[in-house]
A and B are shown apart, each in its own frame.
Chain A
């Protein structure tokens, strides 16, 4: 019997229901787990996403194509295939896609996390037969600390910088991570300032009903901002440019799960690294997999080989690697954050080891 979902040239496809999940090419109907650029690409005829993620998705794919929505838990029938969306806890409106047909249930997680995040709906375990999971941080060295402890570290660093008259700059992916950071920190320490790319999403979040503390924009042609007291939230792409100049003396930190590793922190030359991620850590992945009750697990996006082998050996699961467009390990330097996508939201470059066949040497240069 053929699988309910298969990988085609355009991505994960359900032939029976005639829809794709997070396709990387234009398709008639795209179900989108979340609005990050490597999952939500413009140009498809029709989209379906969680109701809470519609505003954000619209800012990312632009106008034109209609976006249908489902509330979390609500279901819809596509050619007799039952489809419902369930919170993934990755960012606002991120969803796991539950697909049921002929007595078999599949869940495609997209990206997800189990740790607390005040800016989005918490991850909800969904029972299924086949669980398609990401594995960005699928090695046991990745184990997140509690968000409150990380927030305390960020606050302490910000406070120390403020007392020294130094601006604190925290680099975070513009969609999701930046808003989460803003909601995590203690705004009584000083003013929060957001980069334009961050503010665009902040507005979409607020329009969707997420409460965020006051965040200032950098006025055009400003010469000096923040008075050495501010916490600036910006995408990593500002590094190396002149955008940071208006803040005077500053301390630059990176917020990413990859900051767990000393080598990555040092190589990227950050003074501080905060290991805060919107992906599940290794215990989180195991927890979600166990909670799904699935006997078959398809692992994608990350340390797929290792996680699949671990699941086979320790749990006796039918676990294997789902060879997607994105197959290959995600090296920590391939991205500005742990979101695995280029910093510029509008680039449509597929991430990392996107290459079968691999690029010839000269085509590999950006």
Chain B
């Protein structure tokens, strides 16, 4: 697995996409297909089984390194990455000849995965410990980090699927879009599948695959005058509600229909009614849209939808409690023809013919959802001001704002800026006081960048939300110093600080909550800025936050 380890560190060492693609290309061109298939699964973030718990790893590493458990925890809190912490703590490996994969018993990635991840599945603790500690004796620290991550199922490499597709397209000599399409859907399970992936011509297995999703970007300036200035004439744009659901594609080809999440997982099992309704579409149809939970003409919100997603078995009770619909907003394929290159206006006309019932008819209880597929309505507006007014209705409607799509635009691949914009509603905001801080992970390892914030209530500060910092790196470093200097108590990795830092917190909504001690839950909290001009006494109150519930938050 030396080759894969080298790839991992090459990717880690650069922030240039060109170099990342070059590293990936070099790896895929040289690695044996079996290893390459395995690497692809890892790079694509395929969910790996957690064979060994991190608790076991910590305990064994403490034993092997001869350190007390608390010291391992201290180190983890400082390093911010368990795989790396353990790799650094363990004794030096036994010297071994510098061998390439395959030579002198140096196993390749697939072999390592087979021997550890597969073989250890179901093994007893003693056997697991033996295999793990044996590997520690053999692996250098830089290899241990990668191997730990494979073992615990937490390998994040920081390359997007688009980059992987670009690299593979270069190796195969096909268009990046074609490769991105091939990479959708079923995982590349073995060397043979990897070899097929690189075939210069399309193969039969392509048929159930969804298209790569086209992603929208957030508008940088959201004031109506700026939107008008940045986007030009309003009639060049189609506006829709920005639904607060799960993006999905409904693919009706061959004998049945498949539902794909944006994470490219097949979610038929979680949404059986959608798959069933999809089967009634004419063959050779692909819809892009949003999965939403709706009952009695009312949107149930993202939390309810989450209860459905991720399940492999859906009970009848859950189907009745949380019924879901597919709200279509684009037509990517009709009668087997790829429409993605046609202008949105054309695709929309065809979509309206195919899915005539607008979702509006369901909302408000006008129509009982007999079918499960609806049309995402166009939000009418003859001017930017009119659209801005409609956008103002968003919170009341339970949507996140407007989507703006250029009528003349093709359906692109990935996040290509310029044609699809999110015009989200302005977040709610309140100034809150930093009460607890915890060290972050990855790039923020060792820096206290995860904050718990509080508001005033009866003369005390009560915690209301946790937020990862949205601050600039330099500010995080500065706050880290303040956290260290104002620490009152340490509870493991969490520091309780003397209140001194006031941060402006933004969030999408507020709801009453029995699960939270303060009685409210804020949705998607994040930090907007550091209010250096404010003292803790100037921060907001819980009453102010609660008032936002009534204000339609």
B481 adjacent to A266 (CB under 8 Å)? no
Which residue of chain B has the shortest Cβ distance to A334 in the bound complex?
B481
* A306 and B72 alpha carbons, distance in the complex (Å): 11
B-side contacts of A207, CB under 8 Å: none
B81 within 8 A of A: yes
Residue A353 contacts which of B74, B75, B81, B484 (CB distance < 8 angstroms)?
A: B484
A-side contacts of B445, CB under 8 Å: 261-264, 267
Which residue of chain A has the shortest Cβ distance to B91 in the bound complex?
A143
A361 within 8 A of B: yes
Contact A310:B68 (CB < 8 A) given known A262-B81, A263-B444, A266-B12: yes
Contact A263:B80 (CB < 8 A) given known A306-B74, A358-B500: yes
* A353 and B484 alpha carbons, distance in the complex (Å): 6
B84 within 8 A of A: yes
B-side contacts of A303, CB under 8 Å: 74, 78
A139 adjacent to B482 (CB under 8 Å)? no
* A260 and B445 alpha carbons, distance in the complex (Å): 12
Q: Give min CB distance, B146 to chain A, whole Å.
A: 12
Which residue of chain B has the shortest Cβ distance to A142 in the bound complex?
B88
**CB-contacts of B480-496 with A (<8 A):** 480-482, 484-486
A334 adjacent to B477 (CB under 8 Å)? yes
A139 adjacent to B500 (CB under 8 Å)? no
A333 within 8 A of B: yes
B-side contacts of A139, CB under 8 Å: 71, 74-75, 78
Q: Give min CB distance, B141 to chain A, whole Å.
A: 10
Residue B446 contacts which of A332, A353, A365 (CB distance < 8 angstroms)?
A: A332
Which residue of chain A has the shortest Cβ distance to B72 in the bound complex?
A140
* A366 and B474 alpha carbons, distance in the complex (Å): 11
Contact A362:B533 (CB < 8 A) given known A141-B88, A262-B81, A263-B81: yes
Which residue of chain B has the shortest Cβ distance to A364 in the bound complex?
B482
* A329 and B74 alpha carbons, distance in the complex (Å): 12
A125 within 8 A of B: no
B-side contacts of A331, CB under 8 Å: 446-447, 477, 480-481, 484
A-side contacts of B15, CB under 8 Å: 269
B443 adjacent to A261 (CB under 8 Å)? no
* A49 and B80 alpha carbons, distance in the complex (Å): 40
Residue B71 contacts which of A140, A356, A358 (CB distance < 8 angstroms)?
A: A140
B515 within 8 A of A: no
A359 within 8 A of B: yes
Number of A interface residues at 8 Å Cβ cutoff, please give it. Answer: 40
**CB-contacts of B52-96 with A (<8 A):** 65, 67-68, 70-71, 74-75, 78-81, 84-85, 88-89
Chief secondary structure at chain A's binding surface: loop
B501 within 8 A of A: yes
**CB-contacts of A166-182 with B (<8 A):** none
Q: Give min CB distance, B363 to chain A, whole Å.
A: 46
B119 within 8 A of A: no
A360 within 8 A of B: yes
Interface 0/1 of B500-537, CB less than 8 Å to A: 11100000000000000000000000000010111100
Q: Give min CB distance, B203 to chain A, whole Å.
A: 39
B535 adjacent to A361 (CB under 8 Å)? yes
B485 adjacent to A310 (CB under 8 Å)? no
* A355 and B485 alpha carbons, distance in the complex (Å): 6
**CB-contacts of A238-270 with B (<8 A):** 260-264, 266-267, 269
A267 adjacent to B79 (CB under 8 Å)? no
* A263 and B79 alpha carbons, distance in the complex (Å): 7
B126 within 8 A of A: no
* A274 and B364 alpha carbons, distance in the complex (Å): 64
Residue A361 contacts which of B74, B446, B500 (CB distance < 8 angstroms)?
A: B500
B-side contacts of A359, CB under 8 Å: 482, 485, 500
Which residue of chain A has the shortest Cβ distance to B473 in the bound complex?
A267
B442 adjacent to A263 (CB under 8 Å)? yes
* A271 and B13 alpha carbons, distance in the complex (Å): 6
Residue A360 contacts which of B71, B84, B446, B500 (CB distance < 8 angstroms)?
A: B500
A328 within 8 A of B: yes
B75 adjacent to A365 (CB under 8 Å)? no
B348 within 8 A of A: no
Which residue of chain A has the shortest Cβ distance to B474 in the bound complex?
A333
**CB-contacts of B1-35 with A (<8 A):** 12-15
A3 within 8 A of B: no
B478 within 8 A of A: yes
Q: Give min CB distance, A156 to chain B, whole Å.
A: 14
A322 within 8 A of B: no
Q: Give min CB distance, B433 to chain A, whole Å.
A: 10
A-side contacts of B482, CB under 8 Å: 358-359, 361, 364
Q: Give min CB distance, B197 to chain A, whole Å.
A: 31
B-side contacts of A328, CB under 8 Å: 484-485
A310 adjacent to B88 (CB under 8 Å)? no
Contact A140:B89 (CB < 8 A) given known A262-B84, A358-B500, A364-B478: yes
Contact A306:B500 (CB < 8 A) given known A262-B12, A264-B446, A358-B482: no
Contact A141:B478 (CB < 8 A) given known A267-B444, A333-B447, A361-B535: no
A-side contacts of B485, CB under 8 Å: 328, 352-356, 358-359
Q: List 17 A-B contacts (CB under 8 A).
A: A139-B71, A140-B65, A140-B67, A260-B88, A262-B12, A263-B444, A269-B15, A303-B74, A306-B74, A328-B484, A352-B484, A353-B481, A360-B500, A361-B482, A361-B502, A361-B535, A364-B481
Binding site for B on A (CB under 8 A): 139-143, 260-264, 266-267, 269, 271-272, 303, 306, 309-310, 313-314, 328-329, 331-334, 352-356, 358-362, 364-366
